[in-house]
Amino acid sequence: MARASSPGSRPTATENSRTSRSATTTSGDYVNSADPYFGAAIGRYGNRIADGRFILGGVEYKIPANNGENALHGSPRGFQAFVWDTRQPDRRTLEFTHRSPDDDQGFPGDLRVKMVYILTDDNELKITYTATTDKPTVINLTHHSFFNLHGAGNGTVNDHLLTIAASRYTPVSAALIPTGVLPGVDGTPFDFRKPTLIGARIDANDIHLKNGADYDHNWVRDHPVAADTLFLAARAVEPKSGRVLEVRTDQPGVQFYGGNFLDGAIKGKGGKTYGHRTAFCLETQHFPDSPNQPGFPATTLRPGETYRHTCVYKTAVE
């Protein structure tokens, strides 16, 4: 999945797993692309912050809106828009570092981020993130690869079997902002605790499904969050080929996005068109809008602390 670069080169953090409108060869093509999130590193805050504002330490911070009235994925110039410093210590590993200065997109604190991609002998792409700050800030990093187990651009993903290890989820408003409650998935189209076709309930008469134009929601892990402990968050299977994608993480949530807003305008590698629901994302994360939701796990990072996040994408055939 990750495309290796030579030592000393400086690709964007998106360059290693992302497809674009045409054969892309320079970092500038990625930075200036009209489809900025394909395979991208997302920050400072993945997912949405309501109205592009939050209060931290009694101070209100305003973030530029880029998704209606909300800030999405760190606002217009999130981490996907920058060329990261890059080091390749061995043929399986890429290390990316980035400095996000104080007041970058309105966020407080001089944030230093390190992201490492490792290809393992177990057919895994392991992504680790660490970050430090010199002022209290909020942070929620994630990875935004799109997947189709038929092959890129080869039809709908609605026939994939999906399992999500979560008995609760975060319902959203019409603006895709969490309501603040964490209801159970029992009896709803959000129950993926057993393998279920992605498209099986996609047209169900459910207000929260309609608010997301189908699936664009966060699921809540059932297991207690423990440092350095990975759990199986989700598993997707394409039944005809037997191709499998598993996602493990130490984060409290995973966002499942079903490609609802893909419209055929984007062409990827080989000129393949990415139409409606022809790819899905599984983004490990803290919950959307956590800085404004006191009942959600905290996303505050303070001086002297280190933010840590691990996500593992494992492929197999059954």
Q: What is the pLDDT of residues 293-306, one digit of tens each?
A: 999 999 999 999 99
Residue 225: what pLDDT? 67
> What number of H helices and E strands is found in the chain?
2, 23
Whether residue 21 lies inside any domain: the answer is no
Distance CA 219, CA 47 (A): 13
Residue 246 annotated among the catalytic residues of the structure: no
Helix (H) or strand (E) holding 67: none
305 annotated active-site: no
Mean local confidence (pLDDT), 30-49? 85
Residue 199 is assigned to a structural domain of this protein: yes
The whole-number average pLDDT for the span 254-273 is 88
DSSP letter, residue 172? B
| Residue 4 is assigned to a structural domain of this protein | no
The greatest distance separating any two alpha carbons of the chain, rounded to the nearest whole angstrom, comes to 55
Q: Hey, CA dihedral for 204, 265, 273, 66, is it positive or negative?
A: negative
Residue 36: the pLDDT is: 67
Please state, for a pLDDT cut of 90, what percent of the chain lies above it.
79
End-to-end CA distance of the chain: 20
Does residue 1 form part of some domain? no
Which tokens go with 144?
A: 């935004």
- Our count of domains for the chain comes to 1
Question: Average pLDDT of 183-188?
Answer: 97
* Boundaries of domain holding 271: 27-317
pTM score of the predicted model: 0.90
**Which candidate in 73, 98, 143, 144 is catalytic?**
144
- Residue in this structure with the two tokens 């929620």, named with its chain if needed: 140
- Look over the chain and give the mean of its residue pLDDT values, rounded to a whole number: 90
pLDDT at position 78 is 94
221: domain CATH number is 2.70.98.10
Nearest in space to 297 (alpha carbons), one of 194, 213, 178 = 178
Predicted pLDDT of residue 226: 67
- Within a domain: residue 13? no
With 0-12 / 13-18 / 19 or more C-beta atoms within 10 angstroms meaning exposed / middle / buried, residue 156 is middle
Residue holding tokens 């700050």? 133
Spatial distance between the Cα atoms of 307 and 299, rounded to a whole number of angstroms: 9
Amino acid type, 138: V
| CA 140 from centre of chain | 10
Q: What is the pLDDT of residues 275-293, one digit of tens each?
A: 999 999 999 999 999 999 9
Does residue 11 lie in a domain region? no
Per-residue pLDDT at 28: 72
Residue type, 189: P
pLDDT at 145 over 80: yes
Residue 306, SS3? coil
Q: Residues 239-252: pLDDT tens digits?
A: 999 999 999 999 99
Residue 2 lies in a domain: no
Q: What are the structure tokens assigned to 186, written together? A: 């029992």
Residue 236 has pLDDT above 90, yes or no: yes
Do the domain assignments include residue 115? yes
Q: How many CB atoms lie within 10 A of CB 142?
A: 28
Mean pLDDT, residues 200-221 taken together = 95
Q: Which of 160, 283, 286, 309 is catalytic?
A: 283
Structure tokens at 235: 């598993």
Angle made by CA atoms 238, 122, 113, in degrees to the nearest 5: 100
